[in-house]
């Protein structure tokens, strides 16, 4: 697959790889995808009492563009409010990384991961 | 010690042209450029002589007689000619074909094309090792079965089928037997007489010859075997394959066949086997949860197909971009489906996505293998650190118990 330099850069130097304490009430965890489909993303967001995303970490099993999409998302959401992060659409991710058409689903998965992490956070806070 | 990068470990996709092959070919592009069909001048005679020498070299590789070799554009054409040529010639005898789920697409899709013309095709399953069950094959033969097509060695996993036993069954039952021999030639013994093969597909570029040339062995003698040609024209190649013979390509195929035959007796293939074994040992000694795909015992000596659990194949290939190899991962295919060959073996979708094929070859070195081992081990560890699956397994979570959100 001939990828853009942005995908290659994120793949070779992924940002914010790692895990946060999933039991921390301030941490929302999103786990999306399936091993059988060839991609699984885990995105964790640490959200402060003002609703601002202080930290983001990811781990991804998937192709280069799935790793790049997750890495990019962690950099995009940091410092944003929950409401702002929720508005991030896959098209923005796909455009930023210049994903080829067959890899658009990676950006969809990244968008889903944000939403799943926020839903988990809200559930923990009893907001869901 | 310096290794020239990138390293080529994709010799089941194609091979470089051996310099000895190129040397043999060159004069037939320049001074001896004649058309082998020109019967009345020296240019034509020189070309014709070269073509006939090549025919002998190809025949010698498979234990055939030169008259039984038909030159084609490559193995895809050979597979098409064998299957469709038999079908069109013998459809009054019956309209049933038997083949195997792990065959090359050129065979499978030729069979699918015949299905659209009213043929029935049995696609036999394989076991966990990738081998066809002989008894199952015998039972699948019906009164209206015209053709059985089974490959010598698989292009993805290198598994070698029991061709001799299959050939004997077909001969006994009066069914025509086609074998796509492409990946096995020069790697394992193959003899059309002893193996009872009626038709065999051959490709030059998988054995250090040029692309764009192949051959079909068509058995002569009794019982008589006839084919209906796919290409009509000047009646070249016993009328089975019209079109001006590509002399330089044919000379290249002939020389490649001669060298492939030598590889089997002069230890050439044993050197490749040693490199392949060294690669597998190096991987296994340094990484846990790596799984071999396909039989180890019944396998061509140049193939290694491994799944690195919790690491996706395409990401792995990006990580080891200094090593040219290939993957059964969906992400490397246009269809977004993981390898049908691995799925036929019962390899789970997760491990199919994590598979990498290394194809070793004549020009690889120990230094390249050692460099590759280092890089593979480093990148698998790095990608596993990034893998949520690996983390979950280390936490003791059974991945099959997780409710995944399929998409």
Name the nearest CA neighbour of B295 among B139, B128, B141, B140. B128
What is the structure's pLDDT at B73?
A: 98
Residues from chain A that touch B390, judged by Cβ atoms under 8 A, are 61
Q: Decide if pLDDT at B223 tops 90.
A: no
**Residue of A17, A61, A99, A111 to mutate, testing the B interface (most B Cβ within 10 Å of its Cβ):** A61
A113 and chain B in contact, CB less than 8 A = no
Smallest CA-to-CA distance from B289 within B380, B402, B374 is with B380
B334 vs B403 pLDDT, higher one:
B403
Find, among A34, A35, A7, A30, the residue nearest to A19 by Cα. Answer: A30
Inform me whether the pLDDT recorded for B46 exceeds 70.
yes
Q: pLDDT over 70 for what percent of chain B? A: 98
**Residue A63: active-site member:** no
Residues in chain A within 8 Å Cβ distance of B314: 1, 63-64
**Distance from C-alpha of B128 to C-alpha of B350, rounded to nearest angstrom:** 16
- Model confidence pLDDT, tens digit, residues B77-120: 999 999 999 999 999 999 999 999 999 999 999 999 999 999 99
Locate A31 and state its tokens. 């786990």
Determine the average pLDDT of the residues in A91-98: 95
pLDDT for B59: 98
- Chain A and chain B share a number of CB contacts under 8 A equal to 91
Q: What letter does residue B46 receive in the DSSP assignment?
A: H
Coil, strand, or helix at residue B69? strand
B334: confidence class by pLDDT, cuts 50, 70, 90:
low
| DSSP 8-state secondary structure symbol assigned to residue B81 | H
Instruction: Please give the structure tokens belonging to residue A43.
Output: 């995105």
3-state secondary structure of B200: strand
Mean pLDDT of chain B: 96
Please check the confidence at residue B126 and state whether its pLDDT lies above 80: yes
Q: By CB neighbour count within 10 A (0-12 exposed, 13-18 middle, 19+ buried), where does B63 fall?
A: middle
Can you give the pLDDT at residue B379? 98
Residue B240 reports pLDDT greater than 90: yes
pTM for the predicted model, two decimal places = 0.95
Q: Does A19 touch chain B (CB under 8 A)?
A: yes
pLDDT of B335 above 80? no
Pairwise CA distance, residues B179 & B145, whole Å? 16
Q: Closest approach of chain A CAs to the CA of B320, in angstroms?
A: 11
- Please write the tens of the pLDDT for every residue from A12-45: 999 999 999 999 999 999 999 999 889 999 999 9
Q: What is the average pLDDT across B325-340?
A: 80
pLDDT value for B406:
62
Q: Are A35 and A53 in contact (CB under 8 A)?
A: no
Mean pLDDT value of segment B253-279: 98
Q: Which residues of B are catalytic?
A: 331
Give me the residue from A37, A61, A102 closest to B388, CB to CB. Answer: A61
Q: What is the pLDDT of residue B195?
A: 98
Taking the Cβ of residue A115 and every Cβ of chain B, the question of whether any pair is shorter than 8 Å is answered with: no
Is residue B31's pLDDT more than 90?
yes
User: From the CB of residue A101, how many other CB atoms can be counted at a distance below 10 Å?
Assistant: 7
Rounded to whole angstroms, the Cα distance separating B308 from B289 reads 7
Do B213 and B201 contact (CB within 8 A), yes or no? Answer: no
Position B17 pLDDT exceeds 90: yes
Average pLDDT, chain A: 95
The answer, yes or no, to whether residue B407 has pLDDT greater than 70, is no
Contacts of A8 in chain B (CB under 8 A): 318
Residue to test with chain B: of A18, A21, A63, A117, most B Cβ within 10 A: A63
Question: Is there a contact between A40 and B389 if contact means CB atoms under 8 Å apart?
Answer: yes
Contact A61 B404 (CB under 8 A): no
Interface test with B, best of A38, A99, A107 (most B CBs within 10 A): A38
ipTM of the predicted structure? 0.95
DSSP state of A108: H
Q: Which of B312, B387, B399 sits opposite A38 (nearest CB)?
A: B312
Facing residue for B353 by CB, picked from A14, A38, A41: A38
Token pair for B140:
């699948």
Q: Is the CB of residue A119 less than 8 Å away from at least one CB of chain B?
A: no
């Amino acid at each position: 697959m001939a990828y853009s330099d942005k995908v290659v850069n994120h793949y070779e130097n992924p940002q914010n790889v790692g895990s946060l304490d999933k039991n921390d009430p301030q941490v929302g965890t999103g786990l999306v995808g399936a091993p059988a489909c060839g991609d699984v993303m885990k995105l964790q967001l640490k959200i402060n009492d003002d609703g601002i995303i202080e930290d983001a970490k990811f781990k991804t099993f998937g192709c280069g563009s799935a790793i790049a999409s997750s890495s990019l998302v962690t950099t995009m959401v940091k410092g944003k409010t929950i409401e702002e992060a929720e508005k991030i659409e896959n098209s923005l991710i796909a455009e930023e990384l210049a994903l080829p058409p067959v890899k658009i689903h990676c950006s969809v998965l990244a968008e889903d991961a944000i939403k799943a992490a926020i839903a988990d956070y809200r559930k923990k806070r009893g907001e869901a | 010690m310096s290794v020239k990068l990138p390293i080529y470990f994709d010799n089941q996709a194609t091979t470089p042209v051996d310099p000895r092959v190129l040397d043999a070919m060159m004069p037939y592009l320049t001074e001896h450029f004649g058309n082998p069909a020109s019967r009345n001048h020296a240019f034509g005679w020189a070309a014709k002589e070269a073509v006939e020498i090549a025919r002998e070299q190809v025949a010698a590789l498979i234990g055939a007689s030169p008259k039984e070799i038909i030159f084609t554009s490559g193995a895809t054409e050979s597979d098409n000619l064998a299957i469709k040529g038999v079908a069109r010639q013998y459809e009054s005898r019956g309209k049933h074909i038997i083949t195997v789920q792990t065959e090359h697409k050129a065979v499978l899709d030729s069979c699918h094309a015949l299905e659209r013309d009213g043929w029935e095709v049995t696609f036999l399953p394989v076991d966990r090792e990738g081998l066809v069950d002989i008894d199952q094959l015998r039972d699948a033969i019906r009164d209206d079965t015209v053709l059985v097509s089974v490959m010598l060695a698989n292009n993805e996993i290198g598994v070698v089928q029991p061709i001799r036993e299959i050939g004997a069954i077909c001969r006994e039952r009066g069914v025509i037997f086609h074998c796509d021999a492409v990946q096995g030639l020069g790697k394992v013994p193959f003899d059309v007489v002893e193996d009872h093969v009626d038709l065999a597909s051959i490709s030059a570029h998988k054995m250090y010859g040029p692309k764009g040339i192949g051959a079909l062995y068509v058995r002569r003698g009794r019982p008589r075997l006839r084919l209906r040609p796919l290409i009509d024209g000047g009646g070249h190649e016993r009328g089975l394959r019209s079109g001006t013979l590509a002399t330089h390509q044919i000379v290249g195929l002939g020389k490649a066949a001669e060298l492939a035959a030598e590889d089997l007796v002069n230890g050439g293939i044993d050197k490749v086997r040693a490199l392949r074994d060294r690669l597998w040992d190096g991987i296994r000694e340094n990484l846990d949860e790596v799984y071999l795909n396909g039989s180890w015992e019944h396998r061509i000596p140049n193939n290694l197909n491994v799944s690195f659990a919790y690491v996706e194949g395409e990401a792995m290939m990006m990580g080891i971009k200094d090593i040219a190899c290939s993957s059964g991962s969906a992400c490397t295919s246009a269809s977004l489906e993981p390898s049908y060959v691995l799925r036929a073996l019962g390899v789970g979708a997760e491990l199919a996505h994590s598979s990498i094929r290394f194809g070793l070859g004549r020009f690889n070195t120990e230094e390249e293998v050692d460099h590759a081992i280092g890089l593979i081990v480093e990148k698998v560890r790095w990608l596993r650190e990034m893998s949520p699956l690996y983390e979950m397994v280390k936490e003791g979570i059974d991945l099959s118990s997780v409710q995944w959100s399929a998409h």
